[in-house]
Amino acid sequence: MASASIDKPNADKPDTKYLGKPRKIIDGLEKIAGRARYVADVVVPGLLHLRPVLSTVAHAKIVSIDKSEAEKVPGVVAILTAADLVTRDRTITSRSDAILAKGKVLFVGQPVVAVVAETEAAAEDAAELVAIEYEELPVNSSVEAASAEGAHVTWPEGLPKGELEVISHAEVEEKEEVETGPITNHYKTSNFNRGDVDAGFAEADAIVETTFNIASQYQGYMETHGCVVEPDALKGGLTIYTTTQAQFGVRNKVADILKLKRSNVKVTAMTVGGGFGSKYGTIEPLAATVAYTINRPVKLILQRGEDLKTTTPAPPTQIKLKLGGKKDGSITALKADIVLDAGAFAFEFGQLTGLLLGSNYKYPALDIEVIEYITNKTEMGAYRAPGAYQSTFAVESSIDDLARKLNLDPVEFRMKNLSGTDDPMANGSPWPSLNIKECLKQMSEHPKWKNQSKEEGEGIGFAVSAWPCALSPSASTCRIDGDGTVKVVVGSTDISGVSSSLVLVAAEILGISPNEVELIQGNTDVGPYAPGSGGSQVTYSVSGAVAAAAEDVKIKLLELAADQLEARVEDIELLNGAAQVKGVPSSAIKIGKLAQIAESSRSAPGPLIGEGRSSIKQNAPGSVAHMVKVKVDKDTGHVKVLDYVAIQDVGYALNPMLVEGQIHGGVVQGIGMGIFEAHVYDSFGQLQSASFMDYALPRTVDVPNIEAIQLNMPSPEGPFGARGVGEPPITAGAAAIGNAIRDAVGVRVTEMPMRPPVVWKAINEQS
| Binding region for a second copy (CB under 8 A) | 29-30, 33, 35, 41-45, 232-235, 252, 255, 261-263, 471-475, 477, 479, 481-483, 485, 487, 489, 518, 520, 522, 525-529, 545, 552, 598-607, 609-611, 613-618
CB 598 to a second copy: min, Å: 6
Give the relative orientation of helices 733-745 and 388-405 as an angle to the nearest 10 degrees. Answer: 30
CB 266 to a second copy: min, Å: 9
CB 719 to a second copy: min, Å: 13
CB 500 to a second copy: min, Å: 15
DSSP state of 718: S
CB 601 to a second copy: min, Å: 7
Give the relative orientation of helices 498-510 and 538-565 as an angle to the nearest 10 degrees. Answer: 30
Length of the chain: 767
CB 545 to a second copy: min, Å: 7
Asked if 501 contacts 543 with a C-beta cutoff of 8 angstroms, the reply is: yes
CB 41 to a second copy: min, Å: 5
Backbone φ, ψ for residue 133 (5° rounding)? -100, 125
d(CA 58, CA 140): 9
d(CA 537, CA 337): 29
CB 43 to a second copy: min, Å: 5
Burial 489-523 (b: 16+ CB within 10 A, else e): bbbbbbbbbbbbbbbbbbbbbbbbebebbbbebbb
d(CA 563, CA 231): 50
Type of residue numbered 670: G
Q: How many CB atoms lie under 10 A from the CB of residue 172?
A: 21
Backbone φ, ψ for residue 256 (5° rounding)? -65, -40
d(CA 436, CA 415): 9
Backbone φ, ψ for residue 185 (5° rounding)? -90, 5
d(CA 319, CA 337): 6
CB 76 to a second copy: min, Å: 22
Angle at 734 between CA 730 and CA 740, to 5 degrees: 130
CB 616 to a second copy: min, Å: 7
Cβ closest to a second copy, residue 330 vs residue 485: 485
d(CA 619, CA 171): 7
DSSP state of 41: G
Burial (CB < 10 A; 0-12, 13-18, 19+), residue 420, is middle
Cβ closest to a second copy, residue 138 vs residue 607: 607
Burial (CB < 10 A; 0-12, 13-18, 19+), residue 611, is middle
Type of residue numbered 55: S
Cβ closest to a second copy, residue 481 vs residue 702: 481
Burial (CB < 10 A; 0-12, 13-18, 19+), residue 56, is middle
CB 618 to a second copy: min, Å: 8
Type of residue numbered 662: Q
- The alpha-carbon radius of gyration of the chain (Å, integer) is 27
Cβ closest to a second copy, residue 450 vs residue 617: 617
Run of H or E including 646? strand 638-649
CB 125 to a second copy: min, Å: 24
CB 164 to a second copy: min, Å: 13
Type of residue numbered 744: A
Cβ closest to a second copy, residue 585 vs residue 605: 605
d(CA 704, CA 659): 18
d(CA 237, CA 294): 13
